[in-house]
Amino acid sequence: MRSRLTLVAGLLLLWRLSPSAAGSVDPRFQPICKYEAVDPGLCLAYSDLKRELLPYFAPSKDSEQPLPVATQDQIAGWKARASALFARSAVVLAKQTITPTSDAQGAFDEGNGAIAADLNTVMFYTEFANEARWLGDLEKRMTTLEGDVKSAKARPSPLPDDARLGFLTRLQSIGKDGGVVLERLQDDSRKVDSMGELRWGKNYDSVSTSGAIDRKQDPLDGRISSLAARVQSLNAELGGGGDAPAADPTALKNGAKNAMQMAKNSFVTASAQQLGDAGVIAAGSAGGKGSASNIAPVSHETLLDYKEPQKIPLAKDQKAADNFGGVLYAADANGHAYKGPDGKWVMLNVLADPEAARQIEELTSKGLTIVNGDPVARAPYVFQQIGGTCNLASQVEYEESTDPAKFMTPMKSCADDPNCPYHDARGNPPDPKNCPDPRSWEENQLYCAAVKKGLWPGSPKDPHRRDDNGLPEQFSLDLVPGALPERQPLAKPEDLYRTVKSGVMVTVYVDPGILWNDRNLDGKAHAIVVTGVKSLIVTDPQTGKPVLDPQTGKPLTTPLGYYINDTGADEGGRLVPIQQFMDAWEADGHSFVVPS
């Protein structure tokens, strides 16, 4: 009877060791199988775990598919199973019945080491894959930024004599939002640096215990190097200059971290120096003057501390005004500088509630806000309307946004369209030395069209017709070919918010007296273009995490202010705090128009 039982047990053992069984034993763990009698299934458990790990770091020879990426939950599960196996091996070793002990120790050491190495390899690959994803995102982000900069550069400059002004100055000229573009570049630069620092010292050969990895060059190095070069190229395009070393592969191989740091310092110093000189950021936040080689590393926090202009040009301070490029800065808590049609600077307190502006700045500095739309790229569309033509001017902005090429060629002469002679609001022909720019000319064309269609009231005999009249609201965008305007009279605030958040440009009608905090303009209606919205990301006060909309799964947001282009003041990209905006909007029928 006993011999029969021994035979059955032996057969069972043979079955379990057979490759044809449901699970087969990896040769590496065969020595552990000698102790099956003490812990049945132990060697198979080692083999099963290795079999699960293998696809995540050793590609099949006949497969062109990329390696799968493990999830954090999978890794946690494998870690737990490995720990359990190691505990079981310790129990087996503790059994006094096992002989010889040294063989057992060796078998389990080798088995445990193999599992640990494979697990580490999987974790490395997972980390690598995630870093590659991050790098991919960064590359996309950089491509978007390059596109934005290229697009901004291609648009007509709002500044006079564009050729003599650096692009960086031009970005500054659109105010706070020009700073946002620079921030994005700085932010990307930092991320590239971080990636370089993260990858530094990580080489495949240090973890290639399984023999599946035979390359020693980190393939991400090349991509990081390429990104670093793109950062510097953009920096140069913006007029940043500097003496940053070229982020070539050799430099990265020999010391990626140092090369990145030096490049970063140089970029930031050069850009920040110019921003500081122009009064855009506070003195000192640039990290001091000097070359890349003798400045201390710049902390990210310092760089993120983007300051509002500390100096607002006064009417008498023409030198300071020139630093602003002749174009307005966004309203800040200190007030607002406005260059009137007579060319003189006017100081205004456009904010009904300066505290609201401060709160927005604070929330922005904490990273709790998000901007939808594109107030930066759209700011240069604005221009000074001539006469009561805000409605027409907003239409020109739409046209420009859809066909920028049309507005690229500067006017070379004051040649009039015989069917639409150009006159200013007072009926005077243009000064030959001061031709209207393409947008003013286009506005004039729309004015003629509105008159011809009978949409513009007033008499042809009235020399001030263009100035003391305007377009009734119903005809907004009617003059733009193919615009097919969608009107929303008496709209709800949430409708406007949803529309602007979707990214489109929207014409709204506001009470300019409230918009400009100027009582003399009360009761009028003024068409402006909303180019974006800044929102607060709603967070859970307990966890600090964004609250998600149960319907969309996206973070809940609430508007803090709308970005506007105002042709009444030749002002682009001004952020109007939400309460002031809503007061101005609701005081004029709270309607808006969107070109479909």
Partner 1 sequence: MRRLVLLLAAASACSSCRRAAPPLAPGALKTAVQSAKAQPPCSTVIPDEWAYSWPVPLADPEASRFTVLYYPVTGHPGAPPTVWSPAGEGVVDARSGKPVSCALLPGAPKELSRRRWPAASEAWDIKTFRAREGLVFEKTQEIAAIYDARRQLRPADVDSAKSYFEAFSSLAEPDLLPYYYRMNPDFWEWLRSAAGVSIPKAF
Q: Where does this chain bind partner 1 (CB under 8 A)?
A: 338, 340-341, 346-348, 350, 352, 388, 390-391, 457-459, 461-462, 464-465, 467-475, 489-490, 509, 511-512, 516-527, 568-569, 586-591
For the bound state, the minimum distance from the C-beta of residue 225 to partner 1, rounded and expressed in Å, comes to 51
Q: How far is the CB of 374 from partner 1 (least distance, A)?
A: 25
Q: Which residue, 181 or 515, has its beta carbon nearer to partner 1?
A: 515
Q: Provide the minimum distance between the beta carbon of 585 and partner 1 in the complex, in angstroms, as a whole number.
A: 10
CB-nearer residue toward partner 1: 240 or 388: 388
* Tokens read off for 240: 């940043």
Give just the sign of the alpha carbon dihedral 288, 289, 291, 294.
negative
Nearer to partner 1, 88 or 466 (CB): 466
Which helix (H) or strand (E) segment is 564 a member of? strand 557-566
The single-letter DSSP state of residue 335 is B
Q: How far is the CB of 70 from partner 1 (least distance, A)?
A: 59
Q: Which amino acid is at 200?
A: W
Total residue length of the chain:
596
Contacts of 476 (CB under 8 A, 6+ apart): 391, 394, 395, 485, 487, 507, 527, 593
DSSP string across 224-240: HHHHHHHHHHHHHHTT-
Instruction: Name which of 146 and 586 has its Cβ closer to partner 1.
Output: 586
Contact yes or no for 566/397 (Cβ under 8 A): no
CB 371 within 8 A of CB 336: no
Nearer residue to partner 1 within complex by CB, 35 or 398: 398
Q: Judged by CB, which is closer to partner 1: 4, or 519? A: 519
Burial 145-181 (b: 16+ CB within 10 A, else e): bbebbeebeebbbbbeeeeebebbbbbbbbbbbbbbb
Return the SS3 of 375. Answer: helix
Write the CB contacts of 147 (distance below 8 Å, at least 6 apart in sequence): none
CB of 471 or CB of 500, closer to partner 1: 471
Supply the DSSP string of 488-500, one letter for each residue.
ETT--HHHHHHHH
**Are 439 and 464 a contacting pair, CB within 8 Å?**
no
Q: Which is nearer to partner 1, 401 or 517 (CB)?
A: 517
Distance CA 572, CA 201 (A): 47
Work out whether strand 592-595 and strand 485-488 pair parallel, antiparallel, or are unpaired.
antiparallel
Q: Distance between CA atoms of 353 and 184, rounded to whole angstroms?
A: 29
Select 439 or 465, whichever has its Cβ closest to partner 1: 465
Specify whether the backbone of 334 is left (phi greater than 0), alpha (psi in -120 to 50) or beta: alpha
CB of 581 to partner 1, least distance (A): 15
Minimum CB distance to partner 1, residue 321 (Å): 15
Least spacing, CB of residue 340 vs partner 1, in Å: 6
Least separation, in Å, of the C-beta of 552 and partner 1?
31
Least Cβ distance, residue 458 to partner 1 (angstroms): 7
Question: Toward partner 1, which CB reaches closer, 237 or 586?
Answer: 586
Please list the residues that pair with 518 across neighbouring strands. Answer: none
Q: How far is the CB of 362 from partner 1 (least distance, A)?
A: 24
Sole residue written with tokens 């615009």: 483
